[in-house]
Amino acid sequence: MEVKKERIKKLFPWYFSNFELPIGAREEAILVYRACKTQKCDKESFTPTFEEQGCKYFDDDDPSDPSLYSLSTYENPKHIKRFVTMNSEYKKPYKIAKGFTNPECGLVQRTRERNKNLKKSSHVDWWLYIDARPYESFQIIDDFEAYLEEYSKKKE
């Protein structure tokens, strides 16, 4: 167990000592979508939640919740659309990037694997290594509404 903790210290940002990585977190390439606040695939649009908050906790945060420290992505583009429309930080036209969780950038886990109440969720937590550049594995979808329409047709 001590070896694992030492390895985590070397690979992940300092705040990973605040929580336990969940059992089942692994390196895996999963096709996912990410909302881009800057409307580009860049470091700012691919910043984990805790860093976006200035590495501070808010009143309703649970410091032991691994999701607080991850980069949020979604496997289903309909779910990322629901996220951006409900979140006031994102403005139209929404810029959504598509890509794979690159195993060289960190560990992933489908949130529903550890939270059985979210069995229909396509949310994927991605815990990034120090100096990871996940945005290099993504591209902005030019016309997300048209993409979503095509995606829905294929799923029918």
pLDDT in tens, 31-76: 999 999 999 999 999 999 999 999 999 999 999 999 999 999 999 9
Rounded Cα distance between 133 and 5, Å, is 23
Q: Tell me the residue range of the domain where 117 lies.
A: 2-155
How confident is the model over 98-133, as pLDDT tens digits? Answer: 999 999 999 999 999 998 788 789 999 999 999 999
Q: Is the pLDDT of residue 7 over 80?
A: no
Q: What is the pLDDT of residue 56?
A: 95
Cα angle 62, 66, 67 (rounded to 5 degrees) comes to: 85
Number of domains in the chain: 1
Q: Is the pLDDT of residue 92 over 90?
A: no
